[in-house]
Amino acid sequence: MSYTIEIKKEISAKKNTTSESIAELSAYIRNNSNITDKNIIITTENHFLINRIKEQIKDLFDISAKEEIIENLNFSKNVLYQLMIDKKLDIICKSLGIYDEHNNFLDNVPKYIVGANEEIRAYLRGAFFATGSINDPKKSRYHLEILTYTPQESVFIQKLLNLFDLNAKILARDKGYMIYIKEAEKISDFIKILGANKAVMYYENVRIYREEKNKTNRLNNCEQANMDKVFETANEQLKQIEIIEQNDGKMLLDDKTKQALEYRKKYPETSLKELAEIISVETGKSITKSGLNHRMRKIKDLAKKFAQTNE
């Protein structure tokens, strides 16, 4: 079972008030149904959604919708469940804010459908039931999307989402519009809005684990990069020392710089900071990383002069 189905199944058990059911049904039928003069056809792979919609239609309009199983032509092993409503169409479409009093389709959802906070949540729930999906955070990137067929509906759902500061955006597709959210925390907030508490706990646990893992990886990468830099610097200094010794040039260095040269040869893989601490301990004379770096520059300059002369 996919993570999206798990979320939908969890919130399908949520009880609605009458106004919440109207908002939820309005969103679902607007975004996942075929409305004609004779009937409303709803098709889904999820039987629990069919049961929920049948129950809402019965409670709101005292109608028993007709259910049947049809063949799935999308090469999926799952069958499709189809619900047909062929009674009280006029009452249903007007009550759900889909048609106006003259039976014209309403591009924009009437304000009374989402007049309260809980009704807004219910409308978003219905839209998510219809065409929404959320990637499993354990298996893929963070991504939430809801597909719509009209620009008005996409803008409307985006506005509802952003009432909760979710930073939802819209992307035009070939066959409609996609409202999407990419931020992990915002997606988690949306799941809370739906009322899927178990799904939220799973999402948060995975998100925290991934963030800690990424943080550890970044630290490891940073540490590795620092180690690579230490080895590269040390190797360069050893090559410079080799040039000086091949040219019998140690006598041109002062005693402190000669000391730094010998300690670099003795500890070829240490950082300058570690080497400065070793020298301070073994000689009893304190030297800082900056002071040691100054001596190493003298070695570098002398090696450069020998190299230029040899060329």
Q: What confidence tens digit (pLDDT) does each residue in 246-286 have?
A: 998 888 999 999 999 999 898 888 888 888 999 998 888 89
Distance CA 53, CA 12 (A): 10
Structural domain spans, the chain: 3-195, 219-310
What pLDDT is attached to residue 130?
95
Distance CA 293, CA 289 (A): 6
What pLDDT is attached to residue 308?
87
What pLDDT is attached to residue 167?
94
pTM above 0.85, yes or no: no
Distance CA 70, CA 82 (A): 7
What pLDDT is attached to residue 76?
60
Q: Could you tell me which residue, 174 or 19, shows the higher pLDDT? A: 19
The CA R_g of the chain, rounded to the nearest whole Å, is: 35
Quick one: tokens of 32? 């996942």
Residues 27-33: what's their mean pLDDT?
A: 94
State the architecture of 3-195 in CATH terms.
Roll (3.10)
What pLDDT is attached to residue 48?
94
Task: Report the sign of the C-alpha dihedral through residues 211, 217, 219, 222, in that order.
Answer: negative
Distance CA 110, CA 259 (A): 85
Distance CA 25, CA 61 (A): 12
What pLDDT is attached to residue 178?
96
